[in-house]
Amino acid sequence: MTLRFKMSGVALLSTLLIACGGGGSSSNKTPAANLPENLPEAISPEIPDDFVPFTEYDLLDKIKDKLTGQEGTSELAHNYNEALAHMVGEIFADYPLGRTGRAVQIYNLGVSSIKIGNLTCAEVTTNGNTKTLTLKPNKATCIVLDKTFVAGSKITQITNGNTTTVSFDNVRYGHNLDFSLKDQYLISGSIQYTSSKSDTGRERNYDISNLSFQRVKTDSNKLPEGDVYNAESREYLQLKDYSFSLVDDFGNDSHGIRTLNSKGTVIGQPLDATFRYTFSFDTGSTPFIMKETVANNYHHLPEQGSVSITHQKGLFNSQLITRISQDSPQSLKAGVYLTNEKVDDILWSNIIGK
């Protein structure tokens, strides 16, 4: 995922619905072919160049109009777009044929690191239903899969029936494949994943009470969490009271239904930005609904659904709401609303097949 926040109209929806057809894609940086097949997606706090928000001047003017009376309106409009692009991928988290959000990537990293391990420099201890990965006492670093973990890192996996909780304690790592990347990443918090399947349907849920992920220089100490801008943090993402669910109802005929719900709070600081924002989001009573095509495969284009994204603090005083809505079944376009005013319809054609 590479973060470049220029401003584009189709891309905000691309970000949403690639996630809805899939939460920033790292698909443009695939691991080397000689690595294990179950290597998790490489995690970066950045998003692809093509996932950027509005560029059309009329849309920017609409945002500026909503911010009338505040100083530096043009800059605020740009920052608002930048913040949207930074956080919006987490709304949809994961979808089988699309992009994968950082929350799910981090979960996959924890599970795969414990599963694969590295006997030369790491230890995985098992105590009942709990597995814990740490570095061996005499090791300053350890390569596990495509990550170079630093001493003090601890990943714990607890499994109870259909529920797996992965916790990250003082986790710090660099990238073992991208040698141009000199920064390190810090992860703190827990992710709970629950899955179930029956003859009538399937359900997958990710729940996070608090999880932080940030990019820092290698000589930086552990930085504090929170919504206050920190110049030492090159990039910051924190999820609070977050939930994402995919529920498949197989139905009684050939047309099952998939329902996507998501809500939570994102605190973020885009790469090398000079601000930190807080957004809340919620699909609420209008979840995204997709129809089955065949054999438990589902359309990428929803029948209906919308998500409201509310600015809470960090950029300006108002709680400006951006709403993304599928206004007609399987439409090639989705509506973009600022407060209750529709500002554009966005094509979805660049989402299909990614």
What string of DSSP letters covers 300-316?
SS-SBEEEEEEEEESS-
Residue 233 domain flag: yes
Model pLDDT, residue 133: 98
Model pLDDT, residue 176: 72
Phi-psi sector, 264: left (phi>0), alpha (psi -120 to 50), beta: left
Question: Of the ranges 103-117, 132-146, 210-224, 336-350, which one carries the lowest mean pLDDT score?
Answer: 336-350
Question: Of the ranges 104-118, 293-307, 339-353, which one carries the lowest mean pLDDT score?
Answer: 339-353
Over residues 67-91, the mean pLDDT reads 78
Model pLDDT, residue 4: 31
Residue 3 domain flag: no
Model pLDDT, residue 93: 75
Model pLDDT, residue 99: 61
With bands split at pLDDT 50, 70 and 90, how would you rate the model's confidence at 44? low
* Angle formed at CA 301 by CA 333 and CA 282, multiple of 5 degrees: 85
Residue 75 domain flag: no
Model pLDDT, residue 8: 38
Residue 308 domain flag: yes
Supply the pTM of this predicted model: 0.83
Range of the domain at 163: 100-347
Model pLDDT, residue 34: 43
- For the chain, the average pLDDT equals 80
Over residues 56-65, the mean pLDDT reads 72
Residue 46 domain flag: no
Over residues 213-242, the mean pLDDT reads 92
Model pLDDT, residue 76: 84
With bands split at pLDDT 50, 70 and 90, how would you rate the model's confidence at 347? low
The share of the chain scoring above pLDDT 70, in percent, equals 76
Termini Cα distance of the chain: 14
The number of helices, as runs of H, and strands, as runs of E, in the chain is: 4, 17
Q: pLDDT for 238-260, tens place per residue?
A: 999 999 999 999 887 668 999 99
Over residues 169-197, the mean pLDDT reads 88
Model pLDDT, residue 49: 46
* Pairwise CA distance, residues 209 & 261, whole Å: 17
Model pLDDT, residue 240: 98
Model pLDDT, residue 57: 63
Alpha helices in the chain (DSSP H): 9-20, 57-66, 73-87, 102-116
Over residues 85-114, the mean pLDDT reads 81
With bands split at pLDDT 50, 70 and 90, how would you rate the model's confidence at 54? low
Residue 230 domain flag: yes
Model pLDDT, residue 193: 98
* Pairwise CA distance, residues 258 & 290, whole Å: 5
Model pLDDT, residue 28: 39
With bands split at pLDDT 50, 70 and 90, how would you rate the model's confidence at 14? very low
Number of domains in the chain: 1
Of the two residues 349 and 270, the one the predictor is more confident about is 270
Flag whether pLDDT at 289 surpasses 50.
yes
Flag whether pLDDT at 197 surpasses 70.
yes
Residue 94 domain flag: no
Flag whether pLDDT at 39 surpasses 80.
no
Residue 12 domain flag: no
Q: pLDDT for 121-177, tens place per residue?
A: 999 999 999 999 999 999 999 999 889 999 999 999 999 999 999 999 999 998 776
User: For residue 211, what are its two tokens?
Assistant: 């999880």
Over residues 19-45, the mean pLDDT reads 44
Model pLDDT, residue 342: 86
